[in-house]
């Protein structure tokens, strides 16, 4: 309660002081204009001075919570993007190998193993199905040359 009383008294005193200064400089031309400006600034600072001490609550804690939520959202978004990229690469490579196998007269199933890099690359292939020896040999070369998966990383079951 004392704070409010002190605030009201300081605003009243500032208003009286500003009124006296303005009355003294009322017809002084440029000095009067500068006086009006300075008394206006003084009054504004006096009225708004208590606002500088206000706090809106535990802002650091609130901001930390928001930062944590934002970091979790970013991590989840990155994970979803990485999974979608991995799935897309796997599907495209599987389709490519199956298409080449069909052109060679083979009906196979393909499973791609990708690296854990930011941009996944093929590191292995598991193939199964009916395929003639010549077609198998030709398909192994295609996989090695076009996709970069060596014959040692191609597992046939």
pLDDT in tens, 64-119: 888 898 899 888 988 888 889 999 999 999 999 999 999 999 999 999 999 988 88
Task: Output the pTM of the full model.
Answer: 0.56
Largest Cα span, the chain = 110
Q: Which two tokens mark 109?
A: 């199933």
Collect contacts of 108-117 with beta carbons under 8 A, ≥24 apart: 113/153, 114/86, 114/89, 114/90
């Amino acid at each position: 309660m004392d704070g409010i009383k002190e605030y009201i008294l300081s605003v009243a005193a500032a208003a009286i002081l500003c009124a006296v200064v303005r009355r003294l400089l009322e017809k002084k031309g440029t000095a009067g204009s500068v006086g009006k400006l300075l008394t206006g600034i003084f009054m504004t600072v006096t009225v708004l001075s208590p606002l500088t001490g206000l706090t809106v609550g535990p802002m650091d804690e609130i901001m930390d919570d928001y930062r944590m939520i934002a970091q979790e959202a970013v991590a989840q978004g990155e994970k979803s993007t990485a999974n979608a990229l991995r799935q897309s690469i796997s599907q495209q490579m599987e389709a490519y190998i199956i298409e080449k196998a069909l052109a060679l007269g083979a009906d196979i199933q393909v499973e791609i193993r990708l690296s854990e890099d930011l941009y996944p690359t093929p590191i292995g292939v598991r193939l199964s199905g009916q395929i003639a020896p010549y077609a198998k040999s030709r398909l192994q070369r295609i996989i090695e040359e076009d996709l970069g998966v060596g014959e040692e990383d191609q597992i046939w079951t």
